[in-house]
Amino acid sequence: MTGFFNRIIPNVMDKLPDFFEAIRDTLIMVGWSGIIAFVLGLFLGIVITVTKPGGILENKVLYQILDKLINFFRSIPFIILLTWVIPISRAIMGTAINVEGAIVPLIMGTVPFFSRQVESALAETDHGLIEAALSMGSGPLEIIFRVYLRESVSAIARGTTITAISLVGLTAMAGAVGSGGLGDFAIRYGHDRNMTDVTWVTVITVFILVSIIQLLGNLVVKKSRH
Amino acid sequence: MIRLENVSKTFTDSNKEVHAVNNVSLTINDGDIFGIIGFSGAGKSTLVRCINLLEKPTDGKVFVDDAEITALSGKELRKARKKIGMIFQHFNLMPSRTIFGNVAYPLRGSGLSKEEIKEKVHHLLELVGISEKENAFPSQLSGGQKQRVAIARALANDPNILLCDEATSALDPQTTKSILKLLQQLNQTLGITVVVITHEMAVVKEICNRVAVMDHGDVVEEGEVFHVFASPKEPLTRSFIKTTSNLQKIEELIAADSPVVATKKGELIVRLSYVEKNTSEPLISTVTQKFGIILNIVFADVEIVQNAPIGGTVAIVSGESSRIDEALQYLRDKNVGVEVIKDDRVLQ
C-alpha cells in the first residue's frame, strides 16, 4: 500500500507530517474564524434587518452606517485586506503570521459576506408573521429569537454553508502570506517547486472538506423544513 | 369598548402623501360584532391596525376599555395587545411550529406552567373544533382549519376584543360561513367584541350588528346593520347592498324591456321594502283584501338580518287608480318603503 502511494504521490508521502499539519491548520483556521464570524455575522445580519426602514427597531442612522460599512469591507480584495489588517492582527493576536495571524483577516473577510447572507435569509420571513407576533404582544427580542431566527433556520443554514465553503477558499489565499494550511502547502510545494502531485492531493483534500460542509449544510436544511 | 377619536393615518411615500385614514371617529361597544366594509384601498385595514397600534395613527386618539392605547409606552402597549386578539387574511401561522406550538406561542411568559399551557391549548383547540390536528404543521391544513388555529391562537390570552382583518377573504363560501359561525358563537359564549374588516356585504349581513362603510379613508356611513341595509344613505352603501340583494335588479329588467315586467295600461310597478322590524303583519294580503286591488309579485328577496326580515318585493299593481293610491298610502303609514318604479296610469 505504502509502496503504491510512494509511486504515484512521492512528494506528498515525503512530506506527510507537513501535509497533516497543513490539514490541521486549515481546520483550525476554518473552525475558529468560522465560529467567530458566524456569531458576529449573525448579530450584524439581525441588526441590519431590524433597523431597516419598516423594521421592528427601525433606526435610519444605524442602518445606513452598517449598510455602508458592510459594503465597504466587501469591496476590499481579500489579498489587500490581508496586508491592511496586519497591525490589527498584531494588536489582537500578538502576531501577524501563522494560523493565529490569519484568524483576524479571515473573520474580517467573512463577517460582511455572512451578514448579507443572514440579512437575505431573514428577509424571507413572511412579514405577516412579524405582524402576528406584534399583535400578540411580542417584544423585539422575542420576535428576533422566536420568529425571525426560528423561521429562518434552513435559510441561515444555506447561507452558512455557502459562507463556510468560501471561507475554506479564503484560508487558501491566506496561505500566500504565510498562514500555513493547505493553501500554503499547495503553493509552497505544488506550485513553487512544481510538485504536481502535491497540488492534486491538496485539491482533493479541499474537495472532501467542501463536500462534508455541503453535506452537513444540506442535512440541517432538510431537518428544519416542514 | 373601543373608541377612536379623530384618528388619521397618513403615509408618506417618496414625497407623495397618502391619506389612508381621514379623521375617523368611531365607538365600538362591548359585545358588538362590528363590521367595517369598503373596497380595497379604502383604508379599513389601516384603520383596524390603528386599534392595536400595528399602525401608529398620525393624529388622533385610540381608547380601549378607557385606556388610551395611543399614550402607552412600549411595554404597556405589549401588555395591552395581549388582550386584543387579531386574525389575518393569510392566517400568519408560523410554519416551523406545530399547531400546538402556534397556539402556545403567545402563552410564553404568561405565568402558566407547562401543564397549564398544555391544558389551555387543548381547551382552545377544542373551542375552535380542531383538536385532532394538534401535532400537524400548518402546511398540512386547509385554509379553514388554518383560520381556526389562528383564532385559537388569538384567543390564548383571553382577549376582550378580536380584530379580524379580511379573515374570510381567502376562503371558499362554505368555509367562510363556518368561520363566521364560529366568530358569532365566540361572540355569544365569551362575550368577546369582534371587529370584522371585509369587502363583502354578505359577511356583514351574516354576523354583524353594526357596520361602518369606508371610502377613501373616510367613514361615510355608520349604524345598526338593519337600518343601514333598510335605508342606506350613501350611494356607496347602496352599491354594496346591491351586491347581496336582487331587489335592485328591477331597473335592469325594465331597461332591458323584459317580458317579466311588461305592464298593461293602468298598472304600475312598485318596490315595497321593509325598513323597520315590523314585517310580522301580513301586509300584502291585507292591502289586497282591504282595497280590492291585485298585487302580482314579480319577485321577492327577503332575508333575515339581526333576527328581522329585511328586503322586500317588487310587484305589479292593478286595480282602480284611487284605490291603489289609498293602498300605497296605507303601506307607507305602516312604515313600508314604497317606491313607484313605473306608472302606466299616467297614460290614461
Instruction: Provide the whole-model pTM.
Output: 0.85
Residue A63 lies in a domain: yes
Task: Please enumerate residues of A whose Cβ is less than 8 A from a Cβ of B.
Answer: 126, 128-129, 131-139, 142, 146-147, 150-151, 153, 224, 226
Instruction: State residue B348's pLDDT score.
Output: 47
Residue pLDDT tens, chain B, 348 long: 999 999 999 988 778 888 899 999 999 999 999 999 998 888 999 999 999 999 999 999 999 988 999 999 889 999 999 999 999 999 999 999 999 999 999 999 888 999 999 999 999 999 999 999 999 999 999 999 999 999 999 999 999 999 999 999 999 999 999 999 999 999 999 999 999 999 988 899 889 999 999 999 999 999 999 888 888 888 888 888 877 777 777 777 888 888 877 888 888 888 888 777 765 677 888 888 888 898 888 888 887 777 777 778 888 898 888 888 898 898 888 888 888 888 887 654
**Distance of alpha carbon B33 from its chain centroid, rounded?**
8
Q: Distance (Å) from the C-alpha of residue A138 to the closest C-alpha of chain B?
A: 7
- Using an 8 Å Cβ cutoff, are A142 and A212 in contact? no
Angle between helices A98-123 and A16-51 in degrees, nearest 10: 40
pLDDT of residue B242: 76
From chain B, pick out residues whose CB is under 8 angstroms from the CB of A133: 105
Domain extent at residue A122: 14-223
Q: Is residue A30 part of a domain?
A: yes
The low-confidence residues of chain A, meaning pLDDT below 70, are none
Give the ipTM of the model, two decimals please: 0.86
Cell of A36: 467567530
Nearest to A151 among B75, B94, B163 (CB): B94
Residue A6 lies in a domain: no
Question: Is B88 close to A129, i.e. CB distance below 8 A?
Answer: no
Output A207-212 pairs: Cβ under 8 A, ≥24 positions apart: A209/A26, A209/A30, A209/A168, A210/A165, A210/A168
| pLDDT digit string, tens, across residues A174-210 | 877 778 889 889 888 888 888 889 999 999 999 999 9
- Which domains, and CATH codes, for chain B? 2-234 (3.40.50.300), 249-343 (3.30.70.260)
Number of domains forming the structure of chain A: 1
Residue A147 maps to a domain: yes
Residue of A nearest to B163 (CA): A135
Q: Which of A122, A135, A153, A223 to mutate to test the interface with B (most CBs of B within 10 A)?
A: A135
A32 in a domain, yes or no? yes
The answer to whether residue A205 sits within a structural domain is yes
Is residue A48 a contact partner of residue A74, using CB atoms and an 8 Å limit? no
**B255-259 own/partner pairs: CB under 8 Å, 24+ apart:** none
Q: Which residues contact B322 (CB under 8 A, 6 or more apart)?
A: none
Considering only CB atoms, B92 lies closest to which of A131, A142, A226, namely A131
Test A226 with B95 for CB contact under 8 angstroms: yes
Q: Which of A136, A151, A223, A225 to mutate to test the interface with B (most CBs of B within 10 A)?
A: A136
Quote the CA–CA distance of B330 and B336 in Å, as a whole number: 9
In a domain, A9, yes or no: no
Instruction: Tell if the CB–CB gap between A134 and B139 is shorter than 8 Å.
Output: no
Q: Under DSSP, is residue B186 helix (H, G, I), strand (E, B) or coil?
A: helix
CB pairs under 8 A between A and B: 63
Give the cell for residue B190: 365569551
CATH number, position A63: 1.10.3720.10
Q: Which residues are CB-contacts of A33 (< 8 A; sequence separation ≥ 6)?
A: A102, A103, A106, A107, A110, A167, A171
Q: Do B153 and A136 touch (CB under 8 A)?
A: yes
- Provide the pLDDT for residue A177: 73
